Structure 1
Amino acid sequence: MNKKLIIAAALCGLALGSRAQTEKGSFLLGGDFNFHSKRDKDDAPRTNSFGLGPKFGYFISDNFAIGLGASYFYSNQESWTTDDQGPEGPIRKFNNGFRQSGFNIAPFVRHYIDLNAKFKFFSNLSVSAGKSWGRSLGEPTTNNYLSKFELKYYGATLSPGFVFFPTKKIAIELSTTLISYHRSEDTFKYDPNNVNTLYVPQIRHMFQFGLSTIQPAIGVNYHF
C-alpha cells in the first residue's frame, strides 16, 4: 500500500512539475539558432544562411505565453560562371553572387500542449519587422553590375515544434516554419558603372506553406 502511495505521489509530482514550467506567472528566457542551405539552380552555388536571436516570454495563463524576440541573420552566395550557347558558339557568362545581413524584432504568442512529464508540443505565431543590407559579389560586365542594397520587410510566421525538459527549468526545442508571409521593399540601390541610373523601388510579397518552408531550428530556453 505504501509503495502505491509513493508511486502515485511521484507521478503527481512529475505532472505538477511539468505544469509549473509553463504555468501562469512563469517566465521563459532563451534563444535559437538556425541554418538553411538551398540551391535555386542546378548550375549555381548553394545559398547558405544562418540566424540567431534571444527571446523573452511571460505566461499570462497556463501553457499560454506572450513575448518578444530579436534576431540577426546572415546569408551569402558565391559568384559563378556559366557557358551559354550563342550564335557563334559558347559564351562565358559571369553571374554575381551576394552577401546580406540584417536584424528584426518579432513579438510572439505561444501555446503549449502537454504530451507527458518531459515533452510538450507547441505552436508559435510571430509578427516581425526588420531591415537588411548587402551587396553583390563579382565583377561588373556588359550583362550585370555590382550593387549595394537595403531592404525593409514585414512578415508573419507560424512555427510548430516540440520541447523537451531534461530538468524543471531547462527546455530544448526543435521547431520548423509551417506558414510564412513576408513583404519587402527595396530602399536603396547603387550602380558604380552609372551613378545616374534611375532605380524604381520594388515591393515583393512572398507566401510559403508546407514542405517548401521547412527550416529546422534548435533553441534552448530557461523557465523560471
Structure 2
Amino acid sequence: MMKKLTLLAIAGLLAFSAQAQTTKGTLVLTGKLGYSQSKSKHDRDRNTPRSEFEQYNYTVSPSIGFLIKDNLEIGVRAHRYKLHHGDANYFENVKSNWENGENNKGVSVYARQYKYLTEKLALHGTLSSGISNQVITYASNTDGPYPYTSREERDAILVNGSLSPGITFFVSKKLGIQAGLGALTFNHSVTDSFREYTLYNTPPYELQRREDTIKRNVLQFDFSSMHLNFGLSYFIGQ
C-alpha cells in the first residue's frame, strides 16, 4: 500500500490591521509541514523470496521574520526532519533485516528581499546561514547458519549557507503562498562515526568496532524539481 500526504501549516491566525504585505514593521509567520509513508508486504506463501518494506519521513519547519524596511525581511527558522526505512527478506528459512534512519534538527537566520511583478505576485531571494545536527544510523542482521550483525552511526555537525530563489503569491493582504526551487549551498561538516559488526567466518563471532572522524566541505548548485518546496506565510501588520 502506498500513500503520500503533504500538509502545509499556517502559524498565526489573528490579525489586527489591513496594512500591505511587505511594508516596514510587518511580522511574518511561516510554517512548513510534510509527511510521507509507504509500505509493502508480500504473501509469504506465494512469493519466494519474500520481502517486506516500510518507510516514513516528516519535516517540520516554522520561522518568524520581521520587515526591517519595505520588502526586506530578516528572521530565524528552526527545522526538524526524521526518516525511517526498514526492509525484511525471507529466503530458505533465513531472515535478513535492514534498517536506516536519519534525524536532523537545527536553526538558521535569513534575509529575504521581495521584488513585485504584480500586486499579488513577487519574486524573492533568500540568503540564509545556520547550524544543524544530523544523526544517521544503519543496522542489519542475518540469522541462519552464518549469522551476521552490523550497526553504524554517523553523528555530524553541519554549518551551512545558501542562496535560493522563490516566488510568493499573495492570496490576500495577510496570506501568501510561497514556492522555492533549489539553492546554491555551501556545507561544512564534521562527522564522527563508528561501525560495529561480527565476522561469521571467525568464531566465536566477536564484535568488531571501527571509529573515524571526517571533515568535509561541499558546494552544491541544484535547482531541479526534486527540491521544489511550498510554504504558507502570514503577514501581521502594525
TM over 0.5, yes or no? Answer: yes
Matches within 5 A, 1:160-171: 160-171=165-176
- The answer as to whether partners of 2:181 and 2:223 remain within 8 angstroms in 1 is no
Distance 1:152 1:198, change over 3 A: same
The answer to which structure has the higher strand fraction is 2
- 8 Å contact kept, 1:53–1:70: yes
Matched letter for residue 126 of structure 1: S
Structure 1 portions without partners, runs of 5+: 1-16, 37-44, 82-93
| 1:70-107, Cα deviation, whole Å (9 max, x unpaired) | 001123454589xxxxxxxxxxxx89552111201010
What percent of counterpart residues are identical?
20
Q: How does 1:183-198 map to 2 (within 5 A)?
A: 183-191=188-196, 193=198, 197-198=209-210
5 Å-filtered alignment, 1:87-106, equals 97-106=99-108
> Counterpart of 2:235 in structure 1: which amino acid?
H
Write the deviation string for residues 13-64 of structure 1: whole angstroms up to 9, x where unpaired: xxxx99821011111011224679xxxxxxxx9x985522100011111100
Distance 1:146 1:176, change over 3 A: same
Question: TM-score normalised to the size of structure 1?
Answer: 0.71
Report the counterpart of residue 201 of structure 2 in structure 1. none
Any idea what the Cα deviations from partners look like across 1:141-184, whole Å, max 9, x if unmatched? 89982123321111112121111111110111111222111122
Q: Following TM superposition, by how much is the alpha carbon of 1:218 offset from its aligned partner in structure 2, in angstroms?
A: 0.8
User: Where does residue 203 of structure 1 map in the other structure?
Assistant: 215
Question: Superposed, which structure 2 residues align to 1:52-71 within 5 Å?
Answer: 52-71=60-79
Aligned pair in 2 of structure 1 residues 159, 172: CA closer, same or farther (>3 Å)? same
Contact 1:99 1:137 in 2 (8 A): no
Residue type matched to 1:69 in 2? Answer: R
SS of 2:107's equivalent in the other structure is: strand
Aligned to 1:130: 132
1:20 maps to which residue?
A: 20
Query: What SS is found at the alignment partner of 2:123?
Result: strand
Q: Gapped runs of 5+ residues in structure 2?
A: 1-16, 37-52, 90-95, 199-205
From 59, 65, 74, the counterpart of 1:51:
59
CA distance in 2, matches of 1:32, 1:192: 39
Query: How far off its partner does 1:206 sit?
Result: 2.1
- Alignment correspondent of 1:74: 82
CA distance in structure 2 between the aligned counterparts of 1:109 and 1:157, rounded to whole angstroms: 11
In terms of fraction of residues, the more helix-rich structure is: 1
Q: Distance in 2 between matches of 1:182 and 1:95?
A: 33
Distance of aligned partners of 1:207 and 1:50 in 2 relative to their CA distance in 1, 3 Å threshold: farther
TM-score (norm 2): 0.67
Aligned Cα root-mean-square deviation (Å): 3.3
Residues 208 and 50 of structure 1, relative CA distance in 2, 3 Å threshold: farther
